[in-house]
Amino acid sequence: MKLAKLSLAAIIALGVSAFADVENVKFSGNAKLFYGTSDQDPNDLFDKKSSYGQAAATIAVSADLANGVSGKISAIGLSTLGLENNLVSDVWAGATDRNGNFVGTDAQWWVNEAWLAGKLGNTTIKVGRQELDTPLAFSEKWNIAANSFDAAVILNNDLPDTTLVAAWVGRGNGAPDGRVVYGISNGTDPFETYGSAIVSAYNLDASKVDGGAYAVAAITKLIPMTTAQVWFYDVADIANAWWVQADVNFEDAMPGLVAGLQYAYIDPQGQIDNLDESSAWAVKLGYNLDGLKLAAAYSSTDEDGVVPIANTATGLRGSQSKLYTEVWWNYGYVGAPDTDAWMISAGYNMEGVADLFAQYTSTTNDTTNVDMSEFTVTAGKSFGNFNATLAYIYTDADDQNGGDGYNTVQLYLTYNF
Amino acid sequence: MRKIIVALFVATLLLAGEYITLENGKVIELKPDGTWQEVKVVKKGGETIAIKPDGTWEKVEATKVEAANSLERAVDKKYKDEPLVKMLFGRWEGDGISYAFTKDRAVFKKKVGHSSKVIEGKWIVEKLDPKRKIIKINIGEGARLGFLTFGGVIRKLKIKDDNTIVDITDELEEGKSYTLKRLR
Q: Is the pLDDT of residue A334 over 80?
A: yes
Indicate the pLDDT class of residue A1, thresholds 50, 70 and 90. very low
Test B114 with A412 for CB contact under 8 angstroms: yes
Predicted local confidence at residue B158, as pLDDT:
95
DSSP assignment letter at B78: G
Q: Is the pLDDT of residue A297 over 80?
A: yes
Q: What percent of chain A has pLDDT over 90?
A: 70
Three-state DSSP class for B1? coil
Q: What residues does B161 pair with on adjacent strands?
A: B164
Long-range contacts of A11-17 (CB under 8 A, 24+ apart): A11/A73, A11/A75, A11/A111, A11/A114, A12/A59, A12/A61, A12/A73, A14/A73, A15/A61, A15/A63, A15/A71, A15/A73, A16/A61, A16/A63, A16/B148
Three-state DSSP class for B84? helix
A328 contacts on B by Cβ (under 8 Å): 114
CA distances from A15 to A59, A183, A398, B42, B48 (A): 13, 25, 51, 14, 20
Residue pair A142/B111 in contact by the 8 Å Cβ criterion: no
Predicted local confidence at residue B25, as pLDDT:
62
> Within an 8 Å CB–CB cutoff, is residue B51 touching chain A?
no
CA distance A262 to A281: 5
Residue pair A97/A4 in contact by the 8 Å Cβ criterion: no
CA distance A377 to A97: 33
Predicted local confidence at residue B67, as pLDDT:
54
Half-sphere exposure of A199 (CA within 13 A, CB side): 22
Angle at A70 between CA A68 and CA A73, to 5 degrees: 175
A24, A134, A414 ranked by CB distance to B115: nearest: A414
Answer with the residue of higher pLDDT: B54 or A140: A140
CA distance A202 to A205: 9
Test A382 with B171 for CB contact under 8 angstroms: no
Predicted local confidence at residue B16, as pLDDT:
42
Q: What percent of chain B has pLDDT over 90?
A: 33
Q: Is the pLDDT of residue B73 over 60?
A: no
Test B151 with A133 for CB contact under 8 angstroms: no
CA distances from A244 to A119, A169, A220 (A): 27, 20, 12
Mean of all residue pLDDT scores within chain B: 78
ipTM of the complex: 0.87
Q: Best mutation site among A23, A24, A219, A251 for testing chain B: the one with the most B CBs within 10 Å?
A: A24
CA distance A325 to A338: 14
Mean pLDDT confidence for A223-248: 93
Residue A225: is it exposed, middle or buried by C-beta count within 10 angstroms (0-12/13-18/19+)? middle
Answer with the residue of higher pLDDT: B100 or A18: B100
Indicate the pLDDT class of residue B10, thresholds 50, 70 and 90. very low
Rg (CA), chain A: 22
H or E element: which one contains B63? helix B62-76
Q: What percent of chain A has pLDDT over 70?
A: 94
Test A416 with B173 for CB contact under 8 angstroms: no
Answer with the residue of higher pLDDT: A265 or B39: A265
Residues B127, B132, B133, B137, CA torsion sign = negative
Indicate the pLDDT class of residue A19, thresholds 50, 70 and 90. very low
Residue pair A316/A308 in contact by the 8 Å Cβ criterion: yes
Test B153 with A355 for CB contact under 8 angstroms: no
Mean pLDDT confidence for A233-256: 90
> Within an 8 Å CB–CB cutoff, is residue A30 touching chain B?
yes
B25, B142, B172 ranked by CB distance to A124: nearest: B172
Predicted local confidence at residue A21, as pLDDT:
62
Test A142 with B150 for CB contact under 8 angstroms: no
C-beta neighbour count of A2 within 10 angstroms: 7
- From the CA of B31, how many Å to the nearest CA of chain A? 20
Mean pLDDT confidence for A263-279: 88
Predicted local confidence at residue B14, as pLDDT:
39
Residue pair A68/A86 in contact by the 8 Å Cβ criterion: no
pLDDT tens-digit map of A154-192: 999 999 999 999 999 999 999 888 899 999 977 778 898
pLDDT tens-digit map of A68-94: 889 999 999 999 999 999 999 999 999
Q: What residues does B102 pair with on adjacent strands?
A: none
- Strand A354-365 to strand A372-383: parallel, antiparallel, or no bridges (unpaired)? antiparallel
> Within an 8 Å CB–CB cutoff, is residue B114 touching chain A?
yes
- From the CA of A207, how many Å to the nearest CA of chain B? 30
Indicate the pLDDT class of residue A126, thresholds 50, 70 and 90. very high
Predicted local confidence at residue A3, as pLDDT:
40
Half-sphere exposure of A152 (CA within 13 A, CB side): 6
Test A23 with B120 for CB contact under 8 angstroms: no
Mean pLDDT confidence for A226-231: 96
pLDDT tens-digit map of A28-61: 999 999 999 999 999 999 999 999 999 999 999 9
DSSP assignment letter at B96: T
> Within an 8 Å CB–CB cutoff, is residue A155 touching chain B?
yes
Residue B147: closest C-alpha in chain A: A24
Q: Best mutation site among B153, B163, B173 for testing chain A: the one with the most A CBs within 10 Å?
A: B173
End-to-end CA distance of chain A, in Å? 28
Looking at residue A88, its amino acid is: V
Which residues of chain B from 119 to 148 reach within 8 Å of chain A, CB to CB?
119-121, 126, 140, 142, 147-148
Q: Is the pLDDT of residue A65 over 90?
A: no
Residue B116: closest C-alpha in chain A: A387
Test B183 with A291 for CB contact under 8 angstroms: yes
Predicted local confidence at residue B9, as pLDDT:
45
Three-state DSSP class for B54? coil
Indicate the pLDDT class of residue B17, thresholds 50, 70 and 90. very low
Q: Is the pLDDT of residue A318 over 90?
A: no
Test B115 with A355 for CB contact under 8 angstroms: no
pLDDT tens-digit map of B29-72: 777 776 777 787 776 766 777 788 777 887 777 666 655 555 44
Mean of all residue pLDDT scores within chain A: 90
Least confident of A64-78, A134-148, A160-174, A337-351: A64-78
Q: Is the pLDDT of residue A11 over 80?
A: no
Residue pair A307/A272 in contact by the 8 Å Cβ criterion: yes
- From the CA of B159, how many Å to the nearest CA of chain A? 16
Residue A357: closest C-alpha in chain B: B114
> Within an 8 Å CB–CB cutoff, is residue B94 touching chain A?
no
Domain range list for chain A: 8-416
Residue B140: left (phi > 0), alpha (psi -120 to 50), or beta? left
A151 contacts on B by Cβ (under 8 Å): none
B108 contacts on A by Cβ (under 8 Å): none
Residue pair A201/A175 in contact by the 8 Å Cβ criterion: no
Test A380 with B115 for CB contact under 8 angstroms: yes
Place domain A8-416 in its CATH homologous superfamily: Porin (2.40.160.10)
Indicate the pLDDT class of residue A16, thresholds 50, 70 and 90. very low
